[in-house]
Copies of this chain bind each other. A is one copy, B any other.
Amino acid sequence: MNRYTIANIPGDGIGREVLPAGVRVLSAVAQRCGFALEFRDFDWSCETYLATGKMMPDDGLTRLADHDAIFLGAVGYPGVPDHVSLWGLLLPIRREFDQYVNLRPVRLLPGIRSPLRDKSTGDIDFWVVRENSEGEYSRIGGRTGTGEDEIVIQQAVFTRRGTDRILRYAFDFARKLGRPHVTSATKSNGLYHSMPFWDERFAAIGAEYPEIATDQYHIDILAARFVMSPERFDVVVGSNLFGDILSDLGPGVTGTIAVAPSANLNPPRRFPSMFEPVHGSAPDIAGQGIANPIGQIWSGAMMLDHLGEAEAAAMVLAAIEAVLLDPQADLTPDLGGDGSTADLTRQILEKL
């Protein structure tokens, strides 16, 4: 029997409510499909920070390293500045474990109403491949001068290795999907050094995949096109920041922010990959038991897929879709229902 060890990090806010829902669904499907998941809990969060001054212990990364995957809820909570909480937990995991791909589907699901008119299930269905280890997200820089004369420097670093590998991943992924079309997000008209370089590498790597069509848009107009013509995309590749923006905007366009999953992948599998919902810790609704668990559960399906349990992954996704299509379903408030996290989880378990 295949056996996988998973490091659970519920984190903050609704992360603590949806992660257990994900664990229940994954455990159920593992049992049905005949593999074993061993979950180990790591209770690292903003609370840990407030108590200890650190988001995780000094040997935190080492302790995570011998797991097959990391299953994360959400990080960030009022009282701890975001740049402290994220750079103390989520971002070091992405970087130290070289999870250089952030992969997110943008898909109009059955039963979910897109804010766009004239779009129905199947019309919007593409992937955002985001660089996840370098670029604009950087701690290089700082402040100088005082008072009125203060200036702040923020440095972005793009390496050729880092750029090439994410572009190659995007092209390989498009080939694997059988959707031979990759769109690049750029802003080479404003960002003088980084983006002309990005464009150059996109052209160079693209040339290695002559059967794959390419196009590129500046991020401003690309964001507008996500709204005006989302059906034209297959695989969209962007830098850390641009990919971040597009992979929230995409689920916004499909009405699925609370539902969207993400995978932080280390493709060579030297380190564990991490799976987390796109949504954040949502302090405004935390503690009420009404958070939508689908983003977490779908992230769990991506994790199963990554672990090689593709059939189990497909079963989870089918169960989610079945609930969304069921007119009797008791959905959470964000989907227009008045069900709880527990209700929605139970219904997904029933459909399994």
Contacts of A142 in B (CB 8 A): 193
Contact of A152 among B147, B151, B158 (CB under 8 A): B158
A227-B115, A248-B223 known; A188 and B157 CB under 8 Å? no
Interface bits A325-349 vs B (CB < 8 Å: 1, else 0): 0000000000000000000000000
Distance in angstroms between the alpha carbons of A156 and B249 in the assembled complex: 24
Copies of this chain per assembly: 2
Q: Does A219 have its Cβ within 8 Å of any Cβ on chain B?
A: yes
Distance of A142 from chain B, by nearest CB (Å): 6
Contact (Cβ within 8 A) A221 B248: yes
A247 to B157, CA, bound (A): 26
**Residue A76 is within 8 A (CB to CB) of chain B in the complex:** yes
The proximity string for A residues 147-177 relative to B, scoring 1 for CB distances below 8 Å and 0 otherwise, is: 1111111111111110000000000000000
Separation of A339 and B341 alpha carbons in the complex (Å): 54
Q: Choose one: B191, B240, B257; the contact of A228 (CB below 8 Å).
A: B257
Q: How far is the CA of A158 from the CA of B226 in the complex (A)?
A: 29
Task: Considering the complex, give the chain B residue whose CB is closest to the CB of A187.
Answer: B241
Q: Closest approach, in angstroms, between the C-beta of A164 and any C-beta of chain B?
A: 8
Which of A101-153 touch B at CB < 8 Å? 114-117, 136-139, 141-143, 145, 147-153
With A117-B116, A158-B152, A160-B150 already in contact, the answer to whether A225 and B252 are too (CB < 8 A) is yes
Q: Which of A15-23, A30-38, A78-86, A296-304 contacts B (4 or more CB under 8 A)?
A: A78-86
* Chain A interface size, under 10 / 10 to 19 / 20 to 34 / 35 or more: 35 or more
Are A190 and B244 in contact, with the CB atoms below 8 A? Answer: yes
Contact bitstring A243-254, B, C-beta under 8 A = 1, else 0: 011011101110
| A209 interface hit (Cβ, 8 Å) | no
A87 neighbours in B (Cβ, 8 Å): 192
Binary CB contact string for chain A from 215 to 231 against chain B (1 if under 8 A, 0 otherwise): 00011110111111000
Report if A156-B158 is in contact (Cβ < 8 Å); known contacts: A81-B196, A82-B189, A190-B136.
Answer: no
Residues facing B in A53-73 (CB within 8 A) are none
Q: Is the CB of B227 within 8 A of A248?
A: no
Contact (Cβ within 8 A) B136 A148: no
Which residues on B sit within 8 Å (CB–CB) of A194? 141, 152, 154
B contact residues around A223 at 8 Å (CB): 223, 245, 248-249, 252
A224 — which chain B residues lie within 8 A by C-beta?
248-249, 251-253, 257
Contact of A154 among B85, B191, B249, B257 (CB under 8 A): B191
Interface residues of A in 255-297 (CB under 8 A from B): 255, 257, 280
Contact yes or no, B220 A249, CB < 8 A: yes
Q: Are B248 and A152 in contact (CB under 8 A)?
A: no
Evaluate whether A188 and B153 lie within 8 angstroms (CB atoms) in the complex, with A161-B148, A227-B249, A228-B252 already known. Answer: no
Question: What are the residues of chain B within 8 A of A145 when measuring CB–CB?
Answer: 160
- By a CB distance below 8 angstroms, the chain B residues around A4 are none
B residues near A116, Cβ cutoff 8 Å: 115-117, 227
The 7 lowest CB-CB distance pairs between A and B, nearest first, are A224-B252, A154-B194, A82-B189, A220-B248, A141-B193, A117-B117, A150-B160
Q: Can you list 7 A-B contacts (CB < 8 A)?
A: A116-B117, A152-B159, A153-B155, A154-B158, A155-B156, A187-B241, A227-B249
